[in-house]
Amino acid sequence: MERIVSYLNITDSKALNALLIFAAFVILARIVDFLVDKPFRRLARFTKSELDDRIIDVVHRPVFFTIIIIGALQSVHFVKPSEKTLFYANGILYTLLVLIWGVAVARVSNLFIENALQKVADITGLRKDVIPLIENVWKVVIVVAGLMIAFSVWNINITPLLASAGIVGVAVALAAKDTLSNFFGGISVFVDRPYKIGDYIVLETGERGEVIDIGIRSTRIKTRDDILISIPNSIIANTKIINESAPVPNFRVRIPIGVAYGSDIDLVEKLLIEIALKNDNVLNDPPPRVRFRQFGASSLNFELLCWAKEPALRGRTIHELNTAIYKTFNSEGIKIPFPQMDVHFYKEA
């Protein structure tokens, strides 16, 4: 910068030299703007993402104005005005820099937030309407940081402001501790991804349903009785969740069945597998299987194990399998025993 200024010190008039310096920086700004805009756009065409193109759209104008403001600063310093004039000139120009780059950082960060949350939403089912909320929170952070920088440029003591902000922050945190707890619980849900929209989950309290909405504050599930349950994310983050749809969407169905002693156990196993394979809700891979579990007090206890296509079909599949087993066993003469007691009376001699 100093070399450029020295080269342009070609007249006896400081004002004219200052104008030449400012004009040189304007030309330099146009050159840099062209180099940032055209070649970088050509490179961005080789990428699949549109994010880099949008970043160039946001950044190239702030770079242009930054070089012009630097030229203005150099021109002002070259003229060597009074200390008071120099202070106000520096304050105005640096404040403009803070404003320009504050807006640029906010727009670029919004692009990253939107891009990242779109991917997170596709994976976890996060509602896309929380994107404006997070963008607004980030804008507040940028505005506060920009104001602090601007105050420091104007030599304004921000210590009392920081102390006041700390007191207000503590008061807000105490008043909204449940909301903040749910907010951070929601972040842990998004990061950990224990479930996504469409999954069937079972809560520690026993409620079971389909996840239909994941928000910053709460998660909503709909039970099989079409009842909507809203669970705060702070509870979700600190409780045991059973996800019946993960890691695969299939759901294992267990059908216990007892047959009378003396039954043909090979025929029982064959009939149970045939019943499972005929059901449209049961998968052929992995194949259904039968296990002889134990010798009961009044029955031989078997268990049919098969996989339903999805957890939502669990109730219907169990109903259809139980119905088919009862009808098939009746037609094949296989008895299904039930608990009973024989009472014998003896006469005294």
pLDDT at 16: 76
Is the Cα dihedral 64, 65, 70, 76 positive or negative?
positive
Widest distance between CA atoms in the chain: 147
Q: What is the pLDDT of residue 171?
A: 67
Q: What's the first-to-final CA gap in the chain, in angstroms?
A: 128
Task: State how far Cα 248 lies from the chain centre.
Answer: 20
Please, are residues 290 and 302 in contact by the beta-carbon 8 Å criterion?
Answer: yes
Which segments of 125-224 does DSSP mark as H helices, in order? 131-153, 159-175, 177-192
Burial class (CB in 10 A: 0-12, 13-18, 19+), 134: middle
pLDDT of residue 180: 66
Q: What is the pLDDT of residue 174?
A: 62
Amino acid (one-letter) located at 30: R
SS3 213: strand
* DSSP state, residue 126: B
- Tokens encoding 40: 């970088």
User: pLDDT truncated to tens, each residue of the chain (349 aa)?
Assistant: 555 555 555 555 677 777 877 888 888 888 888 877 777 777 777 777 777 778 888 888 898 899 999 888 888 887 888 888 888 888 999 999 999 999 999 888 888 877 776 666 665 555 555 566 677 678 878 888 888 888 888 888 777 766 766 776 666 666 656 666 766 777 777 667 788 888 889 988 888 899 988 877 788 899 988 899 998 888 888 888 889 888 887 888 999 999 999 999 999 999 999 999 999 999 998 899 999 999 998 899 999 999 998 888 888 999 999 999 999 999 999 999 887 777 878 777 6
Q: What is the DSSP letter of 282?
A: B
CA-CA distance, 133 to 141, in Å (whole number)? 13
